Structure 1
């Protein structure tokens, strides 16, 4: 089978967990000795970050010309059997061969206020139509699957839940020298709380910060926190809150961190705090399990499905509830219990299974 993959929307370091999804899925899928040939359709901003090898070829799409026309010509010229758009929508929308898309979540249907008017309009215009036009829709959790079925009125057999895993860096052997380098580079003291998330509105940084203020002002408890992630729409308000409430003495903001350093930021953390309001999956949850640190997290979206009983859950719109769980996670017996449960829960997730299940959907679609 000749498989085309549209990767033009991948902006390295800027799209969070979905970039990890794309790179890990391709890494595990293209290594399989099953005779498939993969064609990665890329643009100048990401062409150098993907590798061509053996059964994987790269195609450069010029962005100063009609992208859809170029894609149509390549799809026909290469005689592709399947077209895969792993990032949200179908492009070209009128592709003439069997197609599969991945919609991680439909947050805009539930929190339209988090989106700029032009982005909201684009999502409302393209998500539903892409789901209807494609032959199959992949999503990352049963929670997302049910919301997509409900909002888009699709037949149940068309939408497939395929869980993700932590990035492959979390499976590498521990490197003591690298571990020490990361500590020194970022001047970290082990035991901090950790939250890796771009500053999108739904990541809910502000309520976590309000919880830190409650603990400091009402209980004299100063919990150090480390944040990573690129600047997005909520960044200015988050930075302003930190400054106005004099939180910089207990916070480090590291912005973008290379993926090979992330396992060590987790390993040195005392816990993961994940207060997101809406998630299609939440890769950091599995990363924390792999790194064997305890989790406190929101009770919203797919998060309870992913963590099982391996997290203390809180109401993410209540800073007092977040504060209570931040306080509770300091207790050694609670931490040990959550780590043990996380080890068990992590066994549910595997990139090999993700790749295998994805290819099964591809085969079923290509045969129709």
Structure 2
């Protein structure tokens, strides 16, 4: 099979859609190498995906941002035909125009429809384009890949798509999280150079994700304050938004600056050590498309407490405990339980390791190639 991919995110985005795109392409190249995979991108940032074979990389004729945007939606079709591409997979919620008329089968991955559930979190111009692109892709694709059962339900509910057109195919996190190394010590934060770098000198609850209202970190700070965990820190890692000011105001008012740390701009290379040294991972987000930070925590051997209401129970399975995202008291109680109950911690860690086997790259490569083959019969 000759498969083309919308690889803009793989070569230009460090997180989120970029991680997913790189994961899919790496999984297919490693576990289904008998097929040809061509990556189409309007530009390439060095250092993001240098391992991808350059012979299978396709760029537009002109290195111009405006032209690249047009090419990705319209001009790419000519190149796909010249490359004898049989099927095109849009890895980030959209497809180029005119695939069906050209005889090229199509698959699109839809990650979430959060912009429809929480429109106030998105600028009006973004909502306008997302509505057009996502709906059009769902209508025109031969098969839709949803990254969770939650996303599948949303596609059916918001767009009226036939459920049988949608296949749920999960994803895994970066392999850097897969093998905890020196952090098997009883007090890993003491032996981790990365923890020393960020002045973390106590056992800690970790939460990773953009510091924004949807991620609900203020609720976590309040619950941590109420839980009164013995000799513990709370470490929040993520990009900064205005919402962080609310959290900082609460920290200041309640004199928590010695125990609650907010770390912005943490490089990816430091994240595995920070996960693996944590005692508990907390993710009380109101809504997610999948919840990769939870998978990262489970790979790192860390028990999870997360929120109900979206897909986080799919991501964490029996490796976590789940609470209603607005319930500060129950979150505080759950933090205390996981923090203090060592047999429970060990059970959650063990169950989490079992749960994440369904996210193995080999399994996911098999599921995707079966979808492609079914369309090319």
Report TM bin, short chain. 0.7 to 0.9
| Aligned partner (choices 76, 80, 85) of residue 85 of structure 2 | 80
Distance 2:281 2:297 in 1: 7
Q: CA deviation at 1:223?
A: 4.0
**Runs of 5+ in structure 2 lacking a partner?**
184-190
Q: CA deviation at 1:32?
A: 3.4
Q: Secondary structure at the match of 2:157?
A: helix
Give CA deviations for 1:253-276 in whole Å, capped at 9, x if unaligned. 332434343222111101100101
Matching residue of 1:300: 309
Runs of 4 or more, structure 1, over 6 Å off, are: none
Give 1:137 deviation, angstroms: 0.8
Shift of 1:119: 1.8
Residues 217 and 284 in structure 2, CA contact (< 8 A), matched pair in contact too: yes
Matched, 1:49 2:54: no
Alignment RMSD, CA only?
Answer: 2.7
Query: Does the CA-based 8 Å contact 1:52-1:58 persist in structure 2?
Result: no
User: CA separation of 1:48/1:344 partners in 2, compared to 1, >3 Å: closer, same or farther?
Assistant: closer
- CA deviation profile, 1:223-258 (whole Å, cap 9, x unmatched): 411222223564454445444544332122332434
What's the CA shift string for 1:274-316, capped at 9, x where partnerless?
1011122212222222221111111121112232232221111
Residue 36 of structure 1 and its aligned partner are, at CA, apart by 1.8
Are the structure 2 counterparts of residues 39 and 348 from structure 1 closer, same or farther at C-alpha, using a change threshold of 3 Å?
closer
> Which residue of structure 2 aligns with residue 365 of structure 1?
375
**In 2 relative to 1, CA 220–345 (structure 1 residues): closer, same or farther, beyond 3 Å?**
closer
Are the equivalent residues in 1 in contact too, given 2:77–2:98 (CA < 8 A)? no
Stretches of structure 1 that go unaligned for 5 or more consecutive residues are none
CA contact (8 A) 2:144 2:166 kept: yes
1:283 aligns with 2:292: yes
Contact kept in structure 1, 2:229 and 2:339, CA below 8 Å: no
* 1:110 corresponds to: 117
Return the match for 1:93 from 93, 97, 112: 97
Tell me which residue corresponds to 2:13.
12
> Does structure 1 retain, via aligned residues, the 8 Å contact 2:27–2:361?
yes
Deviates more, 1:288-297 or 1:232-241: 232-241
In structure 2, C-alpha distance between the alignment counterparts of 1:53 and 1:108, rounded to whole Å: 32
1:343 paired to 2:348: no
Q: Bigger shift: 278-287 or 65-74?
A: 65-74
